């Protein structure tokens, strides 16, 4: 246990696990929300006539939308909502008064939430998979691919977190960041991240833009890896691009945090 420093992070994480488990009904509702849209989208894509230029087969679409809820959840962070609330009602005060990194608590809550959500999502996904099992091809899967897949999920989670975090921190100035979040992190993410249309099936020039922006790495990219459609060099370029965005937004977050604290008026009391 010498490696493990008991500085409260683990205790806080466990506390969030406990709290979230007392809100199981909320988790189920959230799971249904995560599963429903991909299900609708999958059936839409399966029912339309594919054009010759479309690289995706029915099997590709099925696999893609089977994985969307799980990836969506893993890279989904509620920090924006939570943080803007904390600024508005002054509950950020309590974080600022403790000898503990003030944003850590929001991060750990998000992490606990996403991890526990898997308890619902994974069984549901497996059940869906059983139904379509003979139409989804998984023969290409090998350990190295799975490793890339896991790394891509971690990178995607981080990317989503720093982009969401930057928007969240704007709460210091903007009363209602949820609207901004809905546009930048909801709408644009759904379009360019590959929620509505898988990025690989975008028209060539739009696809190039999407590959440069951070959104693809929060959703489409891990699934593209899993489906075996990317070469190693494409994977490495993807990692590098996502890492660039993560570093950039981490710096942005740091700057916003420093100047935001000076404008923070610590409501309450």
Partner 1 sequence: MFNMPVMNEQVHEYAIVTKALNREFKVRLKAEGLLASVRNFFSPASKTVNAVNDLELQINRGDIVGFLGPNGAGKTTTLKMLSGLLVPTSGSIEVLGYTPFNRDHAFLKSISLVMGQKQNLWWDLPPVETFAIHRQIYGLTDAEYKSRIDELIAMLEIADCLETQTRKLSLGQRMRCELAVSLLHQPQILFLDEPTIGLDIIMQKKIRSFLLDYHRRFNPTILLTSHYMDDVAALAQRVIVIDHGNKVYDGHLTDLTNKLHPEKIISVLLNDGEFVCKLEDGCRLIHHEGQHYRFMVSRNRVPELAARLYATGNIADLTIEDPPLEDLIGQLFTPDSQSR
Ligand X SMILES: Nc1ncnc2c1ncn2[C@@H]1O[C@H](COP(=O)(O)OP(=O)(O)OP(=O)(O)O)[C@@H](O)[C@H]1O
CA distances, 53 to each of 56, 61, 83, 197 (Å): 9, 15, 44, 14
The sign one gets for the Cα dihedral 11, 15, 21, 25 is negative
Binding pattern to ligand X, positions 207-246, x when CB under 6 A? ----------------------------------------
Burial of 90 (C-beta count, 10 Å sphere; 0-12/13-18/19+): middle
Burial of 111 (C-beta count, 10 Å sphere; 0-12/13-18/19+): middle
**Residues in 240-269 that interact with ligand X by CB under 6 A:** 265, 267
Residues in contact with ligand X, counted by CB under 6 A, come to a total of: 2
Q: Of these partners, ligand X, partner 1, none, which one is at the site of residue 7 (CB under 5 to 8 Å by kind)?
A: partner 1
Q: What share of the chain is helix, strand, coil (3-state, %, to 5)?
A: 75, 0, 25
CB of 268 to ligand X, least distance (A): 8
Is 76 within 8 Å of 114 (Cβ atoms)?
Answer: yes
Residue 98: phi and psi, rounded to 5, are -100, 150
What are the residues whose beta carbons fall under 8 Å from the beta carbon of 96, sequence distance 6 or more? 102, 261, 266
Q: Of these partners, ligand X, partner 1, none, which one is at the site of residue 12 (CB under 5 to 8 Å by kind)?
A: partner 1
CB-hemisphere CA count at 13 Å for 164?
Answer: 24
- Contact between 1 and partner 1 per CB under 8 A: no
Residue 244: phi and psi, rounded to 5, are -55, -50
- Contact between 10 and ligand X per CB under 6 A: no
The span of 68-76, 197-205, 213-221, 257-265 binding partner 1 (CB under 8 A) equals 257-265
- Contact between 180 and partner 1 per CB under 8 A: yes
CB of 117 to partner 1, least distance (A): 18
Exactly one of 2, 3, 6, 48 binds partner 1 (CB under 8 A); that residue is 6
**Residues in 87-126 that interact with partner 1 by CB under 8 A:** 93-94, 96-100
Binding pattern to partner 1, positions 202-221, x when CB under 8 A? --------------------
In this complex, which beta carbon is closest to partner 1, that of residue 55 or of residue 268?
A: 268
Binding site for ligand X (CB under 6 A): 265, 267
Where along the sequence are the contacts to partner 1 (CB under 8 A)? 6-8, 10-12, 15, 18-19, 22, 93-94, 96-100, 173-176, 179-180, 261-262, 264-266, 268-269
């Amino acid at each position: 246990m010498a490696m493990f420093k008991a500085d409260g992070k683990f205790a806080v994480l466990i506390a969030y696990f406990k709290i979230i488990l007392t809100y199981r009904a909320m988790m189920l509702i959230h799971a249904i929300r995560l599963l429903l849209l991909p299900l609708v989208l999958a059936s839409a894509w399966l029912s339309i006539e594919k054009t010759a230029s479309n690289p995706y087969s029915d099997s590709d679409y099925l696999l893609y939308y089977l994985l969307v809820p799980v990836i969506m959840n893993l890279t989904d962070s509620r920090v924006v909502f939570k943080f803007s609330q904390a600024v508005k009602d002054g509950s950020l005060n309590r974080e600022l008064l403790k000898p503990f990194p003030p944003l850590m608590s929001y991060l750990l809550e998000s992490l606990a939430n996403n991890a526990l959500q898997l308890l619902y999502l994974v069984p549901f996904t497996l059940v869906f998979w059983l139904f379509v099992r003979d139409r989804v091809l998984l023969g290409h899967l090998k350990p190295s691919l799975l490793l890339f897949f896991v790394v891509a999920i971690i990178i995607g989670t981080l990317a989503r977190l720093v982009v969401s975090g930057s928007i969240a921190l704007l709460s210091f100035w903007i009363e209602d960041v949820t609207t901004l979040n809905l546009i930048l992190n909801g709408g644009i993410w759904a379009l360019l991240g590959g929620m509505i249309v898988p990025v690989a099936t975008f028209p060539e020039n739009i696809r190039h833009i999407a590959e440069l922006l951070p959104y693809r790495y929060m959703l489409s990219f891990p699934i593209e890896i899993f489906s075996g459609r990317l070469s190693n060099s494409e994977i490495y370029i993807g990692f590098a691009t996502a890492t660039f965005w993560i570093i950039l937004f981490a710096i942005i977050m740091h700057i916003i945090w420093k100047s935001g604290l000076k404008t923070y008026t610590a409501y309450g009391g």
